[in-house]
Structure 1
């Protein structure tokens, strides 16, 4: 039995409420005042944020609503792109955030309330849990929820764990679906995604439903197909302008001088870089004279890493691009000296940034995807059966299939050409240690593809080296030396990534009502079971490092040993044909040992010579030879059962009945899967690998919960209405044990038109499966070795420096290297000066010792609907959230530092850093170098945020406020003032924080306004403005010590506004047409942000969309 009660509404105020629910825009739930003029029945319902049925005007927590019409009419490509325009959700993960090198996450659309992380936002469908699409996570891909089935989205912007369980730390998104749909509805949309290209998005959705058995049974079916085309860098118009700040001047190093009045950075357009040519560039060894005192634009370099004969041909500082020494190549591999155009980068040793000439736009070079291509099929069917007048049965099944693809840009490597090493070194041509990525390779000057003009210059090359500068003089010239060395910056095949996801979800439930028993009245109950599965398959096509090394080291078979005289062949084939064995760097087997490669080994026998010089010069056979295929197959499984009952237990003092709700929940989460290590099959790839998920990556939780809502008074001398409510939940996890949370809410309405709401909630977030059980997945990091003698010598804190010297010596001795290295004097002959030719390979992994995060949140809201302004409502929501024991990753660099920074070795961090005890057969000394590290999460961080949401809604019939009947207007303004957003991530100093408010992605104020005009019932035009304040790039206080760092206008982004127009026309009663223009003014991010894409500034320019909604019956 449905319970209703009379609430007095003024007719003019009712118009304001209807306006607040206008479908053109997401609105904050407003309270509805009473009036003595007329009455309206208001049905009590369950509103997101509570399980107690109540009048929605007394909802205890701040609530934002988004309608189905808003989602269908928006010009945004996806549901999440629209939701991200809501200030409280502005840092949600949109598809463009998932490109680059993210693996297995292509196209995932994850809501992120308050910018506290997608894993701290709970997403529900009809109040029930939904399986997560990100492996090992509960984060829900909201684009898997059928758009046409959505009735509205209710967003609670505050902690709600006591009502809905763990993970509702920053709030809840509840997707409320349409019920008992009868008829047929077809909705279609076609849109341009990006102004600079012709990429499109196409969607067709069909929903049909029928009522049977005297309307007791409703059966519905839904199907949708969506095709979103790939947007790559070349298609984005503003990226082609190649804006960027480049180094213009370095300030003097003389004591007392911090600036010289010349801007350190200057803005240029049409920048090019020679270092990143698709066809590669080769630079012959050279030296640069350091003079940081008299010419600070050229900095000093430590002697051990300068271009000196003693440092050898692998010294990176020998290969700064220089006119007359740098070559570029055409598609046939022919070489010519590079055209440097007009040099604009005046600082540092690198001279490859310029305008004009042979370089490439650094933003377009990768040709990578910025918006991934995707094709999606979504289906859902269900039934609703009224078993009795008071008991309803429900069942639904959903299937989603998604395919995504992206280009992550080409694989990169450095190839050194030199005869400095013996021919035997060519038997292990990958220069990296096996524990790092294979990005440094060796070939000799007899390489068959090396052009003759380049070879001649290399052979005659002489380097003028320089010593270290002094306080009064530049680096002195040293003795010249012959340096027949060159380094080629190589870019091989593109890193293509393919992703498929299949989602299956089943829900069965029953609910009902009962008049009650005795003093227990208005009983409502619900019981349901949900099962969900998401299977994720990700495929990559990386470069096989060892095969690449063999293929690029091509020579001429002058004697025809392999059959054809003077044919170009792989050197490795000639070596093995003459009886040599080749080191198998995949397994570590040395040349001449068991397991070494021979002529019959596939790596050798299948080798095809690869011409690395020039884009398109390599044959398809060579490309096929170096290309590997790896993949993962992972699966999330969720089982959830919830039972709840709510009722009232009497009105004892005339304020209204007391509401109560009780319930229990069981949930099980599991993740299984195979990693890339399995498909890599031991090969050394230019990509990362990862282990399988270990058995037992799962948890179960059993929970009980309760709510109580007590009306305090109604229409008394204390005010119009007040209610105190509370909620409590106890959870018992098989991984982290028992925990409880609670919430307290107060609603006070002194007069019908004004309401105050306040809430305090505690919440928890249990570590998800990836954080706790995630398998080792390879990652790479550029680590500055804390034991490097030069690094130690440069430390200003001599206490830490002395502790590092002692700890590094102790650690070296534990590896049998006691007394081998000097850690205190960088000029000593045995100084520890490690050379890392590439980034260090490490691993990301879970941590089974994690405990839950805990949080506290406070909200205070004011809702006002002034009687003197019918149709106007004002809402202010203040919020504070603090998360403690927050899970945060400790990087390899941090662990390496903390291992040796203290009075003694810190075993917690030393245990995750691996150093080599042996010297591998490579040009550099590998002893004591970092060869591996482990990055895992720990409960050490904290987050705090506070701010003010504001919402203004106004609706009016123009005939009521003007002498003419001109139609109707609806206006809404919704925004957030971010007062504070602090990150406490320093594990060494828990009180150290980074303030994010007003920094990039975190505008101090962001607001969205919507103005709709309907001259009649057929046509509506809507103007939407998304506006955000300037965000700091450089803090102005930092310029006190360096006032000429850049022009003042480049310190922040400037304010940003995007204007959208939407038009809807009801051609017939059963057919609506719509048209939209997104970013009408073609607003772009500030040029001085360079070529980094910031999604909150709308990178895609002016674009158009059209659509229709057809309802034949």
Structure 2
């Protein structure tokens, strides 16, 4: 069983409620007189009111929180909050992706990034990925942020599609005057993960105060962290289950567990396989060095990356101009240039990549002018041990080889994000209005290395004797020779010549873009005086258009670079929406009802793709006294499918592990699948020829398939409920500085968009009573021969509204700040208990419970208990902030354990605690020095090794949750003028 020693650790302060902030922000608060009361607006409502509370659970992080964290990227801070789940993309989990390396996204409630809506100043921001809706937080400058509001729970009625799990609303600074410089640098304990940052923010106002202009320039660079530089990930390993003498079960790391794809090659003959030593001599294959011999496999971890290096240039600006006393114009502009590089080991080439039709059988001789001619590159040792295995009359062999001569698979992605919003706002009598337009575009250009052209590789493998060619050997195909084909020798270390390498390498490219156009207008105000006050209301309309494309290079599109065929994706949609919202005061200053209000909102959308959608929410706020408030909401939210889900064309895949229900069927079989199988002409021909439906090894290895979108998708529906209590005991002197909130939440997503599992389609098509799934299956026809007739040629999958997701739990927050001794102490606690987090892959399937498990269904580790604690003390010029993050223990996925006949929760990893500290000293009124230590006690990540669910390749842990880097230091200075 995996057991980890729990180390004491911590995290940065996160604001735990909408009522109390960090120590710095508490100090900034001043008493508010009745004459100074103004209407404000908070996330979750478009109605302005004197009350800044939210009917839904709301947590706020201020600019002081960001400064105290030392975070370079906003994601680093947000991930400390217990309401956040594992992000789909981050520096530490995106190295192995074909696109999206280094992108930083956010995932509320672990319901997926696509169900978390990220806003900037209450308006949508363009996505950081083509075809998706998730915003790349790399594009938001942290030093330009005033606060961040985290609203958890459905908010589609207020903000539109995608707010099923909640909203992250980033409020930028405004009306700033002066200049602020923040410079920082840091490194990890191991001398890597270097960090450099410089940020300059300035602002000025006109002499009459009618205009304000702000600007920001930022540069940051975070260096790589390689797998080889951490003990847990330096050597290839794999999980292995052992049964001890007392019948207890555990998973251990089988280490080393080197790859069978080695740079010197592994060659399979009739009776076994062999490889080559450093001197070019044939030796027996010994992947992991068992029996005392030296290993001949390959350590992939030597070239893998734990943390992707990211370099960013950021420019942001905003401004306002008062046209007159009641009307003003505003604008916001952002440009972000990001570069990220991923790096993994050289390509693992198998003969089936070159000869897919034959399952990887490579001919060692060819029919030339009526006689068989031996390939002179094939060594005698192999020649003597091979025969004709596929019936074409020529001797065959199979090989695997790590293409070290081609080099690492390296990708450089350059992304540029541009966004501009402008509009008018003001008052008309007692009404407030705002109208805006916005345009945003993210464009990415990606270049990659490490792939080969399989057609050229095949031509280069097929060599024949030729006295006129260099070395007496030439490519067999005349057309290939005319195009520069040079025979390739794959037998041994560094055996591929420079000329042959030049002929087979295939650099890759990928061009992506996503464009967003917005327009909207809204009004809000008060009307109809009731005994408890006026009714607040808001109404508005919005228009949004999204377009996206993703274009790989031609070889990738054709599947001719030893990878899967990936066609280009194009898509667009638009939506027109209108919304209304109201706050109705029901009681005021009554016994047991200091106030009682009803809140309601409704939004109607009309999509060019899914048609009409409706969202609504209803909430109540009841304050029996000044010290206690009870709040609750019920909401129905929607999420329209994104461009990738709708328009992705068939993208080739090569699935493994499929079990054909027709296997073993005879002419007299009576099981439910038999009749459906015999109805296929190819299957029937196979049975008649062999007596029973039979598959060859080539049939099993040759299964292909396509993943595709679905233009017939409809919108998801999310149903969420919250009920909570807010305690602000100001009437009790001893507790007058204390605030506490407790909120219960429950979210259920119906008609969730999921990909149909391939095995499920097979089982439903053949004997499952649902022949509609047969459209996903293509079998070989009768004319391919009895050995392959009826075998699965293509097993496809597509997305559909056939799933479900949900979560249920409790959020607790507490905060307190007061003078203690010579200084001021503040404390914050935020805790989330996840009672349930489930996934429903298909309507007739059982719910897969993931709370407290390490599961692939819900993005890795999902502890039931997660908390963050912040303590801050300020004494004169000195200050200290400590932040503690707690992740509860998690067990391996119960479905994974069931494969080994192990009971649920029987294998788990311990809880983890991370501690961060920042020390600051005010040198002068305008100069502050700060020193930070992240993961101060060097808490090791939970050992979730390769082969276990939740593992992030190259890290040997779930790097979406746990820190795979270790202790880090940073030093900085802030100057304000």
TM-score by length of 1: 0.77
Instruction: Describe the superposition over 1:1048-1101 as per-residue Cα deviations: whole angstroms up to 9, x where unpaired.
Output: 997101111112222222222222222211112222234464563302121111
Provide the secondary structure at the position in 2 that maps to 1:763: strand
- Within the alignment, does 1:995 sit opposite 2:849 as a pair? yes
Contact 2:211 2:322 in 1 (8 A): yes
Q: Report the Cα distance in structure 1 between the residues aligned to 2:288 and 2:417, rounded to whole angstroms.
A: 53
- Within the alignment, does 1:899 sit opposite 2:768 as a pair? no
Provide the secondary structure at the position in 2 that maps to 1:968: strand
* Residue in 2 that maps onto 1:625: 503
Provide the secondary structure at the position in 1 that maps to 2:233: helix
* Selected match of 1:496 from 410, 415, 428: 410
Q: Report the Cα distance in structure 2 between the residues aligned to 1:1038 and 1:689, rounded to whole angstroms.
A: 34
* Selected match of 1:886 from 747, 752, 758: 752
Contact 1:786 1:804 in 2 (8 A): no
Instruction: Describe the superposition over 1:870-890 as per-residue Cα deviations: whole angstroms up to 9, x where unpaired.
Output: 322111111000110111111
Contact 2:102 2:308 in 1 (8 A): yes
Change in CA separation of 1:652 and 1:525 when aligned onto 2, cut-off 3 Å: same
* Selected match of 2:812 from 950, 953, 974: 950
Change in CA separation of 1:1061 and 1:447 when aligned onto 2, cut-off 3 Å: farther
- Within the alignment, does 1:638 sit opposite 2:516 as a pair? yes
Map residues 97-176 of structure 1 onto 2, 5 A cutoff: 99-176=94-171
- Within the alignment, does 1:1102 sit opposite 2:962 as a pair? no
* Residue in 2 that maps onto 1:1056: 912
* Selected match of 1:862 from 696, 707, 725: 725
Change in CA separation of 1:76 and 1:919 when aligned onto 2, cut-off 3 Å: farther
- Within the alignment, does 1:549 sit opposite 2:458 as a pair? yes
Q: Report the Cα distance in structure 1 between the residues aligned to 2:549 and 2:439, rounded to whole angstroms.
A: 16
Contact 1:1066 1:1072 in 2 (8 A): yes
* Selected match of 2:631 from 751, 754, 757: 757
Structure 1 spans left out of the alignment, 5+ residues: 1-21, 250-258, 287-318, 320-324, 344-353, 417-428, 463-482, 577-598, 960-964
Shift of 1:661: 1.0
Map residues 701-720 of structure 1 onto 2, 5 A cutoff: 701-720=575-594
* Residue in 2 that maps onto 1:873: 739
Q: Report the Cα distance in structure 1 between the residues aligned to 2:107 and 2:338, rounded to whole angstroms.
A: 22
Q: Report the Cα distance in structure 2 between the residues aligned to 1:865 and 1:731, rounded to whole angstroms.
A: 39
**Which one is further off, 883-892 or 233-242?**
233-242
Q: Report the Cα distance in structure 2 between the residues aligned to 1:274 and 1:880, rounded to whole angstroms.
A: 45
Computing the radius of gyration from Cα coordinates, the structure with the larger value is: 1
Q: Report the Cα distance in structure 2 between the residues aligned to 1:355 and 1:507, rounded to whole angstroms.
A: 67
Change in CA separation of 1:756 and 1:155 when aligned onto 2, cut-off 3 Å: same
Shift of 1:48: 0.7
* Residue in 2 that maps onto 1:723: 597
Change in CA separation of 1:536 and 1:1041 when aligned onto 2, cut-off 3 Å: closer
Contact 2:585 2:597 in 1 (8 A): yes
Q: Which has the higher strand share?
A: 2
* Selected match of 2:489 from 594, 611, 614: 611
Shift of 1:235: 2.9
Q: Report the Cα distance in structure 1 between the residues aligned to 2:800 and 2:711, rounded to whole angstroms.
A: 10
Q: Report the Cα distance in structure 2 between the residues aligned to 1:1026 and 1:490, rounded to whole angstroms.
A: 44
* Residue in 2 that maps onto 1:289: none
Which structure has more relative contact order (CA 8 Å, sep 6+)? It is 2
Provide the secondary structure at the position in 2 that maps to 1:742: strand
Contact 2:444 2:512 in 1 (8 A): yes
Structure 2 spans left out of the alignment, 5+ residues: 1-10, 22-30, 366-372, 388-393, 855-860, 947-954
Contact 1:1060 1:1077 in 2 (8 A): yes
* Residue in 1 that maps onto 2:878: 1019
Shift of 1:446: 6.3
Q: Report the Cα distance in structure 2 between the residues aligned to 1:952 and 1:355, rounded to whole angstroms.
A: 59
Q: Report the Cα distance in structure 2 between the residues aligned to 1:870 and 1:214, rounded to whole angstroms.
A: 41
* Residue in 2 that maps onto 1:841: 704
- Within the alignment, does 1:1067 sit opposite 2:949 as a pair? no
* Residue in 2 that maps onto 1:1083: 939
Shift of 1:919: 6.2
Change in CA separation of 1:389 and 1:23 when aligned onto 2, cut-off 3 Å: farther
Shift of 1:679: 5.3
Contact 1:333 1:611 in 2 (8 A): no
Contact 2:261 2:349 in 1 (8 A): no
Provide the secondary structure at the position in 1 that maps to 2:686: coil
CA RMSD of aligned residues (A): 3.5
* Selected match of 1:810 from 673, 679, 682: 679
- Within the alignment, does 1:561 sit opposite 2:415 as a pair? no
Instruction: Describe the superposition over 1:495-550 as per-residue Cα deviations: whole angstroms up to 9, x where unpaired.
Output: 32232222221111111134x3xxxx4x2111111111122233334211122233
* Residue in 2 that maps onto 1:236: 230
Q: Report the Cα distance in structure 1 between the residues aligned to 2:972 and 2:293, rounded to whole angstroms.
A: 44
* Residue in 1 that maps onto 2:534: 657
Shift of 1:644: 0.9
Instruction: Describe the superposition over 1:45-84 as per-residue Cα deviations: whole angstroms up to 9, x where unpaired.
Output: 0111101112344322111111223334425552213212
